[in-house]
Chains A and B, each alone.
Chain A
Amino acid sequence: MIPAAFDYVRPADLDEVLGILRDRQGEAKLLSGGYSLLPLLKLRLAQPELLVDLRDVGGLDGIVHTDDDIRIGGRVTHKRIQEDEGLARSLPIMREAAVGIGDPQVRNWGTIGGSVAHADPSSDWPAVLLALGASVVLRSAGGERVMPVRGFFLDTFVTQIEPTEVLTEVRIPHPARNGGGAYKKLERRAGDFSTVGVAVQLALSDDGRIASIGIGLTAVADAPFAATEAEKVLTDARPGNEVIQEAAAMASKQSKPVTDSHGPADYKRAMVAEMTTRAIRAALQRAGA
C-alpha cells in the first residue's frame, strides 16, 4: 500500500502553520501523530496535496491545571495522558480511555488533538470529551475560538473545524466534588476500534442524588454524540437499578448504529445499553456512591 504523491512541510511554529493553512485552503492536511492519517493515505482514501507536519510546533504539548479548567495541548500523546498522575487523580476516566486506544506504539505517537480533529466515528476521545463537557480551542490566522465539543462533531470525519484552523487545545472543566467517571469500551480484540464505547462523568449531591451527568457514546452513529435523553433521566435522580436501566435504554434508543464487521445493529444497540449500565455503575462507585 503506497500513498499517492503529496508535498510536505514541517513549519517551525504555529504562526507559520496558520499562514500555510490560510494560503492553501483545502489543499493542506495537518499531520500530528499520523496513526489515523497515514493508513488513509496508504489506502489512497485521502489524497491531500500538502501535508503540514506539526511535529516542530511548540506550545501544544502541555497538560496544565488552571483555576478554570484542565488544558491539554493538541499534540499531547495518548501515552502522556495515560501516564499523567495529576490527570489520573482528578479524572480517572482519562487514563481509562487512554490505555484502551490502539496499542502501545499508537499511544506513543497518536495525539488527542489529532484524534479529535480526525473525528473517526469510532474513536474514543470524542465520547470522553462529550461526557466531560469539554471544549476545543481552534486557532486560525484570524484568531482563536473556543467551542464546546457538544455540537463539534458533525458527521463521519467531519467537525466544525475550518480548513484554516488548528485544534490547539482541549479544555476540560475541573470535576465537581463527589465526581466520578468511567469509560467502558467493548472491543472485538485488543487494539481494535470500539464496537461500542460509553463514557460517563457524573457528580453526586450531598444527599446522594446525581447532581450532574455527561454521557458520551462512540461507534454507534455517524459521529460521536452525547446521550442527552439518558442524561435527563439521571439528572437529579437517586441512583438505582431501575433508573440506570431506564437511562441505558434511552442511550440505546438514541444511538443509530449500522451493521458492519463489528456486529449487527441490534447487537450494538443492546451493547449501548449494557456498556452504559456498566459505565454508570463504575462512575457511581468512583464518585463514592
Chain B
Amino acid sequence: MTIEMEPQTTPEVGGMGHSVKRKEDPRFIQGQGEYIDDVNLPGQLWLDIVRSPYAHAKIRSIDASEALKIPGVAAVITGKDLEGYKLHWMPTLAGDMQMVLPVDTVMYQAQEVAAVIATSRYAAADGVAAVYVDYEPLPVIVDPFEALKPDAIVLRPDKGPDKQTNHIWHWESGDEAKADAALAAADVTISQDIYIPRIHVASIETCGCVADWDPVREQLTLHMTSQAPHAIRTVLALVAGGAGLPIYEHNIRVKTHDIGGGFGGKVPVYPGYVLAVAASFLTGKPVKWIEDRSENLQADSFARDYHIHAEMGATKEGKITGLKVKTIADHGYTDAAADPSKFPAGLFNVITGSYDFDNAFVEVDGVYTNKPPGGVAYRCSFRVTEAVHAIERMVDILAHDIGKDPAQLRMENFIQPEQFPYTTPTGWEYDSGNYGAALTMAMEMIDYEGLRKEQAEKRERGELMGIGISSFTEIVGAGPSHTFDILGIKMFDSCEIRVHPTGKVLARIGVQTQGQGHETTFAQIIAEELGFPVSDIKIEYGDTDTAPYGLGTYASRSTPVAGAATAIAARKIKEKARHLAAHLLEASADDLEWTNGKWSVKGSPDRFKTIQEIAFAAYTNHPQGMEAGLEAVDYYDPPNLTFPFGSYICVVDIDKGTGQVTVRRFVAVDDCGNIINPMIVDGQIHGGLTMGFAPALYEEITYDERGNNLAGTFMDYLLPTAMETPAWETGKTITPSPHHPIGAKGVGESATVGAPPAIANAVVDALWHLGVRNIDIPMTPQKVWKILHEKGVAP
C-alpha cells in the first residue's frame, strides 16, 4: 500500500519517482565489481596481524625471530618500532586516542600486537603464527558498572592527571527539574531498565586496504573500503604530520572501490590501515591488508552497548507528561564513536520520539572497559536506535499498565500534523510528520482488529501470540554546520556537475555508496532537475583526487545532504542554461520558463531550446562576456536535519516448549518524504528491517569474564538467513521535508531503527498476561524459555 507520488518526468528521462533499474548492477551481476581484495598492484606485499589472546595484559616481550626465518616474511612491525615514528597512537573520530600497536599494554582480546609483512597472504599468515609474544595477564573489566566503582583499576593511565578514571564523559539534555516535577505530579509512573547489547555490522565484505607509497613521487595512494574517504585523507595527513613524515594531504589519494556493505563499520580508521601505510612507507612497496571474518568480528568497531534506565510519567488516561533517562554507555577501551563532536551520545536525545509532551531529561555517561571500541555504528544515525527502542518500549509498557490498546495510546500522544515544525523538549525541531496516517495504514494493512481478536481466542487456549507496534521518528542528515562537525570538519556535503558539449553529464559527489545505489539515484536527481535522461548521466565518487570534499555516507545523510547539494548544483546549471537559452532564442532571460528539460519563451511553447542544445551552445556559441562551459559545484549546508518516520506492526508466535519466537507477519509503513526511486527505497527498507530483526532475535556480541569475545565467527554471530527472515510487507506515506530542496529525508536506516521495538513489543505483548514487562534483545529461545519456565508455562 502506498500513497503514490506522480513522477514529473517521462520514464525515458527517469527523474524522481521512477523505479529506474540500477546503473551499477551490470558489473555486479557479472562478477566484474571491484572490491578491495580485487585490487592487486605489481610488487605488492601482504600484511597480516598478530593479535592478543588476552583482554588486558602487559607485553613483556615480542620475539619475531622464528617468523623472520619463514621464506617470504620480510618484516615484523611492533609498537616499539612505531613509537620511534610517534605512530603508535592515533586519534579516533571522537577525539580520543587509540593504539595503532601497543608498546606495553593490550586493552582487549584480539587487539593488534604486531604486523607481519610478507610476499604472500599465506606466508604472512605463517609469520603471524610464528611470532611469540610473552604476556603478563592483568585484571579485566568487562562490566561498565564495575569500571565506574571507585576502587576499579584505571584502564587508561595515559590520560591526563585529572582523567585517572574510567569515566570518559557526562552528557545531558533537557530540563531535569521540569522532568522531575512532571514525574512527581504524574498519575502513573513507570520505570524500566533496558539493555541494548553490543552488536556488529558484519558487512559480508570485511575491511581492508592496499597502501601504495611511491617514494620517488612522494605520493601515497590508499585503496580502501571507506564510507568517508575524504575524512580518512585528512586524518592520515594529520597523523603523518604529527609523526613528521613527508606525507601531505595533496599527495594523499584515498580511493575507494566497490564496497561490499558498510553500515557504519567502514567509517572509522582502523590500525590495519595505518599499519599498511607505515609498511608501504618503510618498504617502498604496495602493501595489502585484508582482515578475515574473525578479526572483523573481534576487533572492528561495535555498536550499541547501552545500559538504559528510563522513567515515564502520564495521566491516568495515558497522556504522557514526562520522561527521564539515565544511561551508561560502554565504549570499550577508547571512545572511537563516529558521533559529531558536540554529541558524545549521538542524537540520543531524540528519545522523546513521536510524542507530544513538554518535559524530558536525558543523561549519558561514557565508560571505558576492556573491550574493543564500541558505540560506533550498526546502520543507525548516531544512537537513534537506542533512543527509539527505549521510548517505544516505554510507551508500550505504559499502554499495557493502564489497560489501553497500544495503538490507541500512541494515536492519543502523537504530535499532530499541524504542530510541525515541532520543537521537542530536548531541543530538536522536527521538520514534518503525519504519524497517525502511517499507523493507520499499517493497522489496515495487517488487519489489526482481526489480529487482536485472534490473539484473545488464542490466549483462551493457552497459545502465545503477540502483536507489537513501533511508531518511530528518526533524525538523519547530519548536519547543519552551526552544530555538526567531526574532528572540526563541518558536516556539509557536496556535488560537482559537468555537462559535456554533447549533452552528457558527469557528476561527482562527496558521499560514498556501499550498495545504496548512488550511481542511479543521484543521476535521477539530476534528471529531475535538468531533464537529461538518467542513461546520459555518470556519477562518480570515492576518489579524493577528483570528488569534491564530503563527509561520506553514514547516518542516512547521503540524500539529505549530498542529494540536496546535487539538486542545488543542478539548479545553478539550470540558471546558467536560462541565460544561454535567452541568448540562443534572442529573448530576455526573464521571459523564459522551464518545462521538461527545455527553456521556452513564455506564451510561445514552440520557441524553446533543449538542455542538450543549450549544453552544446555553452561550448560553441556562448554569449560574449559569459564564461564558457556548463558546470556547477555545491557544498550544501543543511538548515536542519530531516525526520523520517514510520509505523511498524509485527505479529509473533512463541513456541511454549522451546521459547522460540517466530515473526509471522511484519508490516512496515515508512515515510521518508519525497521518493527518488521507489524500488531502491523498498530495498533499503527490506535490508533495514532485516538488520533490525537480526539483533532483536539473533545477533549479540558477548564477552566472558576474561573479556573473550564469544561470537567471533559466523558460526556464533548469527546473521539471519533467508529461512527465518520474514517476507517483509511495506507501505509508504509521503510527507515531504519542507526545507530539503527535493523534499526528501533519507531512508537507509529507518527500518533498522524502527524494527527492534516492534518485535520486542510483540514478544512482551504475548507474555504480558504472565507478568512480563520487558525482555532485552536479542530475545533468544533460551531467554524466552527461562521466563516461560519461571512463570510456570514451560516445563
**Do A's and B's CB atoms come within 8 Å in the complex?**
yes
**Among B86-94, B413-421, B591-599, B718-726, which stretch is in contact with chain A?**
B718-726
When the two chains form the complex, which single residue of A2, A263, A274 contacts B782, counting CB atoms closer than 8 Å?
A263
- A5 partner residues in chain B, CB cutoff 8 A: 126
B698 contacts partner chain A, Cβ-Cβ < 8 Å: yes
- B657 partner residues in chain A, CB cutoff 8 A: 274, 277-278
- The secondary structure that dominates the B interface is loop
How would residues 189 to 222 of chain A score, 1 for a CB under 8 Å from any chain B CB and 0 otherwise? 1111101000000000000000000000000000
- B125 partner residues in chain A, CB cutoff 8 A: 1-2
Complex Cα spacing A271 to B126, Å: 42
B571 contacts partner chain A, Cβ-Cβ < 8 Å: no
A44 contacts partner chain B, Cβ-Cβ < 8 Å: yes
B145 contacts partner chain A, Cβ-Cβ < 8 Å: no
The answer to whether A261 and B716 touch across the interface, beta carbons within 8 angstroms, is: yes
The answer to whether B698 and A270 touch across the interface, beta carbons within 8 angstroms, is: no
Interface positions, chain B 651-703, Cβ under 8 Å from A, are 657-658, 660, 698, 702
Interface positions, chain B 779-795, Cβ under 8 Å from A, are 780-782, 785-786, 789, 794-795
When the two chains form the complex, which single residue of B293, B780, B795 contacts A270, counting CB atoms closer than 8 Å?
B795
The answer to whether B121 and A2 touch across the interface, beta carbons within 8 angstroms, is: yes
How would residues 267 to 280 of chain A score, 1 for a CB under 8 Å from any chain B CB and 0 otherwise? 10011011001100
Complex Cα spacing A193 to B698, Å: 15
Q: Smallest CB-CB separation from A267: which chain B residue?
A: B782
B292 contacts partner chain A, Cβ-Cβ < 8 Å: yes
The answer to whether A2 and B789 touch across the interface, beta carbons within 8 angstroms, is: no
B185 contacts partner chain A, Cβ-Cβ < 8 Å: no
- A2 partner residues in chain B, CB cutoff 8 A: 121-122, 125-126
Minimal beta-carbon separation of B157 from chain A (angstroms): 34
Number of B residues with CB within 8 Å of any CB on chain A: 30
Interface positions, chain A 124-148, Cβ under 8 Å from B, are none
The answer to whether A263 and B781 touch across the interface, beta carbons within 8 angstroms, is: yes
The answer to whether B786 and A267 touch across the interface, beta carbons within 8 angstroms, is: yes
B481 contacts partner chain A, Cβ-Cβ < 8 Å: no
- B723 partner residues in chain A, CB cutoff 8 A: 189-191
Minimal beta-carbon separation of B663 from chain A (angstroms): 13
The answer to whether A189 and B782 touch across the interface, beta carbons within 8 angstroms, is: no
Q: Smallest CB-CB separation from B722: which chain A residue?
A: A190
- A186 partner residues in chain B, CB cutoff 8 A: 658, 660, 781
The answer to whether B795 and A264 touch across the interface, beta carbons within 8 angstroms, is: no
Complex Cα spacing A270 to B782, Å: 10
Minimal beta-carbon separation of A45 from chain B (angstroms): 12
Interface positions, chain B 634-658, Cβ under 8 Å from A, are 657-658
Complex Cα spacing A278 to B795, Å: 13
Complex Cα spacing A277 to B121, Å: 51
- A271 partner residues in chain B, CB cutoff 8 A: 658, 785
The answer to whether A189 and B294 touch across the interface, beta carbons within 8 angstroms, is: no
Complex Cα spacing A4 to B127, Å: 11
A24 contacts partner chain B, Cβ-Cβ < 8 Å: no
Q: Smallest CB-CB separation from A195: which chain B residue?
A: B781
The answer to whether B129 and A261 touch across the interface, beta carbons within 8 angstroms, is: no
- B658 partner residues in chain A, CB cutoff 8 A: 186, 271, 274
A188 contacts partner chain B, Cβ-Cβ < 8 Å: yes
The answer to whether A191 and B292 touch across the interface, beta carbons within 8 angstroms, is: no
How would residues 756 to 794 of chain B score, 1 for a CB under 8 Å from any chain A CB and 0 otherwise? 000000000000000000000000111001100100001
The answer to whether B698 and A188 touch across the interface, beta carbons within 8 angstroms, is: yes
B710 contacts partner chain A, Cβ-Cβ < 8 Å: yes
B711 contacts partner chain A, Cβ-Cβ < 8 Å: yes
- A277 partner residues in chain B, CB cutoff 8 A: 657
Interface positions, chain A 234-249, Cβ under 8 Å from B, are none
The answer to whether A1 and B294 touch across the interface, beta carbons within 8 angstroms, is: yes
Q: Which residues of B approach A to under 8 Å, CB–CB?
A: 121-122, 125-126, 129, 292-294, 657-658, 660, 698, 702, 710-711, 715-716, 718, 720-721, 723-724, 780-782, 785-786, 789, 794-795
